[in-house]
Each structure stands twice: as structure tokens, then as C-alpha cells.
Structure 1
Amino acid sequence: MNAGTAYLCSAGGLLVATTIKVWALRKSPRDPLLWAVIATLFVGALLFVTAAPPNLAAINEALGVPNIAAPIVYCILTAFDGVTIVLLIHWRGNDDARVTLRQTRLCLTAYAAVMVAICVLFALGDAPVERLRDLDTYYSGTPWIREMILLYLAAHSVAAVTMVVLSWRWSRKVPGTLKAGLLLIAAGAACTFAYDLLKYTAIIARWLGHDLDWLSTNVAFSLAGFSAFLVSAGFLLPPIGQGIGSRWRALRRFRGLQPLWLEIRPEIPSTSQPPMPWWQPVEHRLMQRERDIFDAVLRLTPWFDRSTGAGVYARALAEQSESRARSEADAAVIARAVIWKGCAAPAVAPELRWTVSSTEDSEDLLTMSVAILRSARVEVTRQTTALPEHRA
């Protein structure tokens, strides 16, 4: 794969990611972090499109000015540096929104000034010979063009160091995919700084009369795409990872509640919606299952027997923690209540009813579901259930 194709493929991937994020604006149209992500992805895609060698020649030809593509690419690269730092500022957040706004304005103003200076320096200089791959070294001794090259490299280096420092410091305070994403950003920014060092080395070698242009045209050129890929992947990994992690946790909870849901399914109101099909989002299916459980528990409340709960609780407490013993007692009470209500047994008197509290905590609810399935005491309760003698 040649360099032009590789750059255009990278641009295509970033444009797809940009489209996905733009679609997310429907839910959060005023989210500054989301706008920063979109700006970073879009400017990154634009950078890859314009920096591809075939497109450099096309830009020069279309505008009729030799090497006019150079300041355009340098300005887009500078804009990418600025919006990337802004993204890190918004991503990390700050308790004081005014501080975030002030830092954002300072960063954007500084990099906008660099972009203007790049254009002015190119206009003052003279670069009549078109150079698509080695402009940095070929014009390293040309007045004004030399300053333009050094300016964009300096701004690029400052951005790279800033990203490394911010990402590394923050990664030491956070876990999981966010940490991995920040480390990828730090690695990408380090590669970006290495890119700048290679450019500096080749330019200084030219000043000293040596020829190390291959460091700039070959090594640095290849490193640029790799560093941009790492940075983009670092920004995309946390939201993707968090989304996958959230869905996985919801799926585990959905499956974990199945024994309890099956136990009380006969008591789910007939007016409730039927279970959602498997292709529906698992978060929606989980909400429906939890709602069905809560509705059924309310319908079973008149048949909750205190003596059943107290007996199972006392026996379970001798073997496990208080919360688990309580969940097991609640499970036994619910299992007996299902049988009594199904047999049209009389309700338990209010003063003799057991209060099921495991539905108030998500972990206790899961523990109660496990007890419904596996607890020997709950199974014994089912097998020894008889009609209650007390009536409401």
C-alpha cells in the first residue's frame, strides 16, 4: 500500500468515526466534549486527505501556486494540534467551567495565531520549485520559508509534549479503558514528538552541509500516520470500551435476574408488555425485567409470611452474611407467596407479613435471584408449603 492510499484509508476511517459522533449530537447537541471530539476527528480526516502526496500536487495545480499546499497542510496540522489539546481539556473536565473556557480560548487563540503566521511567512517567502515530499529540507535555508517550517514544527512539538504530559498524568489516576486510551494518546504524542525530532535533525543536517533528508521524507513520513492512528484510537477507545462494558454488565444482570423473573412470572400483570425480543437493546430488556419483578412483588405482598422469612433468615444467618441471609429469606418468602396466591389461599394478616427489602438494592436483588435457583432452604420452603391458617 503506497503512502497516498494509506493516508486516504486513514481519512476514511476518521470520517466514519466523525459521522457516528455527529449522529450522537441528536441526544446531546450542546455537549462541549462531544463537539471537541467531532472537531478533532474531522480535522484529523481533513489532514490525511490534504497531506496525501497525490492531493498535494492537485492542490498546487488547482490554486496555481507552487507549494501552496504546504502552508495549507501546516495550518490544518496546527489546527489539529489545537483541537486535540482542547479535547483533552474538556475530557478531563474542571470543577470551574470558567477555567475550562479560559484554557480553551487561550489554546485556540495561540494556535490560530500560529496559523496566521504560517500563511504570512509563506507569502513573504519564495518557493518556486514544487516539492511534494521533501519541502522541509529543500527549503530549510530559504528566508521566510525556513521560519514557516520551524514555526509549524515548534507548535507541533509543544502540542506533542503537552499531550504526553497531560495524558500520562491523568492515566495514573484512572482505571480501565480510560487509562488504556490515555496511554495510547501519550504513545501517539510521543511518536509525534519523534516525528518532529527527525524533521529537526534532517533540517539541521542541511544547515551543516550534510544530507539526511531520508529521515524526513521516509521515516518521519511513515511515523506521522502511525502517531495519528494511535492518538485517534486513544480518543475512541474509552467511549467504545465503556459502551461494551456497560452492555456486558447489563447482560449479566439480565441473565442473573432470570431465575427470580421465572419464579414470579405468573404474577406479572396481564397488562404488562410481553418480553422484548433478543435483538432489542439489552438495557431496555433489563429495565422491562426489573419493572416486571417489582410489579409482581407488589402483587404478592399480601401473601408474604413473616414466620417463613424469620425462620429462613435465622438458619441462613448462621452460615453467611446478614445481607445474603436477608436475600435468601426474601427468596423463600416470595417462593411460598407464589404458591399460596396460585392456590387462592387467603392473604396473610398485615401484622404477620414479612417485608421484602432485597428489591431495594441491585446486588441484593441478584443475590435473591441466585437463592431462588440454588438455595436448599428455598427449595425446602417450596416443598413444605401448606395453606396459611391466618386470614387478613
Structure 2
Amino acid sequence: MDSSDYYIPTVALLIGLAVKLPGLVKDWRDPLIRTVCLVIALGSAGFFFAAPPTIAAVNQTTGIANFSSPLVYSIISAFSAFCLLLIVHWRGGPPEYVRRVSRRWQAGYFLVVIALVVLFVLGDAPVDRHTDFDTYYATTPFIREMIVLYLLAHMTAALVTTGLCWRWALQVRGWLRAGLWVLVVGWLLNLTFSGLKLAAVAARWTGQDWGVLSTTLAPLLSALAAPCATVGFLLPLVGPWTVFNWRTARTYRRLGPLWRELSSASPRTPLAGRIPWHSSLYVRLTRREAGIQDGLSLIRPWLDGAVRSRAQTAAEAEGLSVGEAAHIGRAAMVAAAVLATRQDLPAKPLIPPEHAEIRTLHAVPLDVSLALRTSEIAAAVRESSAASPAEDGEKSPA
């Protein structure tokens, strides 16, 4: 594998960590959010320190041959442990049960990390190996045990996490289920990674050379597994947030024509006041919806049921449904009232709308906004109805 095959996943995981950092700052006491961030950070660190250039730099800096090996093994073991802890916290249950299981996994993998360091100190690995440490020292006393312990610890985490995610995915729906299935794929890749490594090590014990499994195939699977794990953990957290903001943005955009129409009725007084640039989409939508309601109240004295009736009749004559025609009629009525308000014409509609119609108008701003944007009938009726009052207003003083 090239160095980029290690550093690209590192950057990808760091991007995933950046997505979760605002949530960590906001709810840093939440063990679930802390564990998610720690898992992503450890995954990124694992790829970074496993890259051959980083291995060479660490070994040279410390002055200890193959110092990177126990370092990388410890990081990956910690990553495995915190993935298990994340699943336990994520799934939940009685607090005492969650604490008890979490402590057991923490203690077990803490002992694994200590054992890895002790075995490395007891062993002898004088020749720096940047890519094939596992197979090169597969028969060296103590180093051999360190390699096998690391692989078995990783396989254990992969097996347990895959089983937990598989069973849980069968019980839930939605984004959580999607995330769990992605995690299953990621941990099956991790399990295959460990299996290939262990097979290559075992082959060395029998005098055979299966180094390609450890140095080529296994790292490729690991590079695929890390993004799967990150996506799997983030999907149930980011997915609903993304859908909510997408729907909010779509509604905000669709209300634009009605918002702009009503804003023109009182250009000197913004309907919702000044909105700070850093406001969220939800805040912007809320302010826009409130402004639309205020604008409808502002033009209410100029709303003319006759305008609505003419536009609705014209829409029905073109073959539109009753519902679509009704929305076009309301859009034309609103547009004519806005023009009358802006021109300061007398507020004397020929047929004042009924209270039920006013309530409906306030309840369906999206449909009215869409009709304003797309309906030629609404525009035509608005223009013709705006011209008539203006002419009457000119003749009456004479």
C-alpha cells in the first residue's frame, strides 16, 4: 500500500471528527458523544501511526527499533475497546448493567495494552520493519506472543461488535438500522483483516511465506473498514439532523415567493426584523413563517373575495383541480391586496372573505406561495384587479 492509502483514511476520519466536535463542545458530559469522538480519533490515529513514513519517523525520533509496533497495536486495541463501549452505551439499558459491562471491557483491554508493552520489552526486535513486522517477527519469542495477543484482541472485538450490531439491527428501523448494518459490514472487514494477518503469521510458523496477506490484502480491508465504522456511528446521529435541515431549507425556499410578495406591502418595515447572519435554518424558517403571518394580518383589510373567486373560476376553467384552483384564487387575492396596500388604496373590498377563508389562508402558506410562483392566472388577475381600484380612485374626486 502507498502512504496515501493510510493518510487518506486519516483525513476522512478527521473530517468525521470535525462533524461531531460541535456536539462534543455542547454536550461534553454525554458519554455517548464523548465515546463517538474518541472512537473516530483513535481510528484516525491508528491509520496515521501505521503509515510507513510515520513508523520510520517515530522509530527514528525515539531511537528504539520498532517502537511504532506496540504503539500502533495499543492504539488499535484501544479503538476496539471503545467501539465495544460505544455499542454498550448506544444500546443502553439499566444504568448499573451499562456501567458493569463497560468496566469489564475497559479493564480487559487495559490489561491487553499493558501486556503488549511488557511483551515488547521482553522480546528482541532489533531490525526496523515498516510494513512486514508481523510476519518478520512471527517466530521471535515474546514478540510472537505480542503479535498474536493483539490480533486475538482485535478479532474478539470484531466478533462481539458484529454480533451485537447484527442482533440490534433486526430490532430497530430507520437511520439507526442503516447505521448498524454499515457497522456490521465494517466489523466484518475488520474481522477479515485480523484473520488474514493471523493466517500469515501462522504460515510463518510452518515455514511458509504468506506475507502478501498481511502486507497487501489486510491493509486494504482495514482502509475500507475504518470509513464504514465512522459512517455507521455517525449515520444515526447525523442522518436525522441532515434530513431535518434539508426539509427546513426546502420549506424556507418554497415560502420565498409569498414572503417577498408580503414584504413589498410594507418595504420600510421588514416583516421579521433583522436576522443575524449566523442564525440556523430553523430560526430563519421560524422568523419567515412568523413574518408571513404578520404580513397576512397587515393586508387583511384589502383582501377581496371577488378577486379570489375570479381567479379560482379561471383556474377551474383550465382544467385544474378544485384544490389547486382554490390555492390560485388565494394567491391572486393576496397579490391584489399587497398592491392595494402598497398604493395606499381605500380598504373597501367588494366581497370581504369569510373568517373560514381567512383561517385557511393562514394555514396553507406553502400552497399559496407555490401558486404565486407558478400561476399565470394569479398574476393576471392581480394586475387587472389592481388597475380597477386605481382608476376608480382617480375618478371619484372629480
Moved more, 349-358 or 217-226: 349-358
Structure 1 residues 246-277: Cα deviation after superposition (integer angstroms, max 9, x where no partner): 44433322232133223323445744367879
C-alpha distance in structure 1 between counterparts of 2:325 and 2:11, whole Å: 56
User: Which amino acid is the alignment partner of residue 190 of structure 1?
Assistant: L
**Alpha-carbon distance between aligned partners in 1 of 2:371 and 2:93, rounded to the nearest angstrom:** 44
Partner of 1:357: 359
Q: What residue number does 1:77 align with?
A: 76
Q: Are 1:155 and 2:159 counterparts?
A: no
* 1:10-38 CA-partner distances (Å, limit 9, x unpaired): 33443454345435544444343332232
Residue 345 of structure 2 corresponds to which residue in structure 1?
343
Residue 186 of structure 1 corresponds to which residue in structure 2?
A: 184
Counterparts of residues 248-267 of structure 1 (less than 5 Å): 248-267=246-265
Distance 1:25 1:282 in 2: 21
Shift of 1:212: 1.9
Q: CA deviation at 1:195?
A: 1.0
Structure 1 unaligned residues grouped into runs of 5+: 388-392
Q: What is the rounded CA distance, in whole Å, between the counterparts of 2:12 and 2:321 in structure 1?
A: 53
Q: Deviations over 1:104-156 (max 9, x none)?
A: 44433332232223223334444445443333234334444333222211221
Distance 2:119 2:350 in 1: 89
Q: In the TM superposition, what are the counterparts of 1:159-178 in structure 2 within 5 Å?
A: 159-169=157-167, 173-175=172-174
Q: How many residues align?
A: 380
2:216 — aligned with what? 218
Please name the residue that 1:114 is paired with: 112
Q: Name 1:55's counterpart in structure 2.
A: 54
Whether the aligned pair in 2 keeps the contact of 1:303 and 1:353 (CA below 8 Å) is no
Name the counterpart of 2:143. 145
Pairwise CA distance, 1:336 = 6.0
* DSSP-derived class of the 2:3 partner: helix
Cα 1:348/1:11, change in 2 over 3 Å: same
Task: Report 1:79-98 matches (<5 A).
Answer: 79-90=78-89, 92-94=90-92
Percent identical across equivalent pairs?
Answer: 34
**In 2: Cα distance, 1:344 partner to 1:14 partner:** 64
TM-score w.r.t. the length of structure 2 is 0.74
User: Which residues in structure 2 correspond to 1:27-66 (within 5 Å)?
Assistant: 27-66=26-65
- Name 1:3's counterpart in structure 2: 2
Residues 263 and 335 in structure 1, CA contact (< 8 A), matched pair in contact too:
yes
Match of 1:369? 369
Match of 2:393 in 1: none
Query: Residue 36 of structure 2: SS of its match in structure 1?
Result: helix
Q: Once structures 1 and 2 are overlaid, which stretch shifts more, 164-173 or 147-156? A: 164-173
Aligned residue identity for 2:347 = A
Question: Following TM superposition, by how much is the alpha carbon of 1:300 offset from its aligned partner in structure 2, in angstroms?
Answer: 3.5
Per-residue CA deviation, residues 315-353 of structure 1 (Å, 9 max, x unaligned), is 99xx8688x788667656645654665523159999964
CA deviation digits over 1:20-67, x for unaligned, max 9?
543554444434333223212221222122222333344344444443
In 1, Cα distance between equivalents of 2:287 and 2:102:
43
The CA deviation string for residues 265-290 of structure 1, in whole angstroms up to 9 with x for no partner, is 34457443678799986555434422
Q: 1:134 is matched by which residue type in structure 2?
A: D
Structure 1 residue identity aligned to 2:74 = C
- 2:304–2:349: 8 Å Cα contact kept in structure 1? no
In the TM superposition, 1:279-358 aligns within 5 A as 283=282, 285-302=284-301, 331=331, 334-335=334-335, 337-338=337-338, 341=341, 342-346=344-348, 353-354=355-356, 356-358=358-360
Task: Supply the distance in 1 between the matched residues of 2:190 and 2:279 (Cα, whole angstroms).
Answer: 43
Letter in 2 for 1:117: A
Residue 133 of structure 1 is matched in structure 2 by: 131
Normalization by structure 1: what TM-score?
A: 0.75
Q: Is the 8 A contact 1:331 1:378 kept in 2?
A: yes
Distance (whole Å) between structure 2 residues aligned to residue 336 and residue 93 of structure 1: 57
SS of residue paired to 1:357: helix
> Structure 2: how far apart are the matches of 1:69 and 1:374?
65
Question: Is the 1:269–1:295 Cα contact (8 Å) retained in structure 2?
Answer: no
**Aligned CA distance change for structure 1 residues 359 and 188 (closer, same or farther; 3 Å):** farther
C-alpha offsets along residues 172-217 of structure 1, whole Å, 9 cap, x if unaligned? 64446x6655444332222211111112212222333333233223
RMSD: 4.4
Which runs of no fewer than 5 residues in structure 2 stay unpaired? Answer: 390-398
Aligned partner letter, 1:146: R
Q: Secondary structure of the residue that 1:133 maps to in structure 2?
A: coil
20-29 or 218-227, larger mean C-alpha shift:
20-29
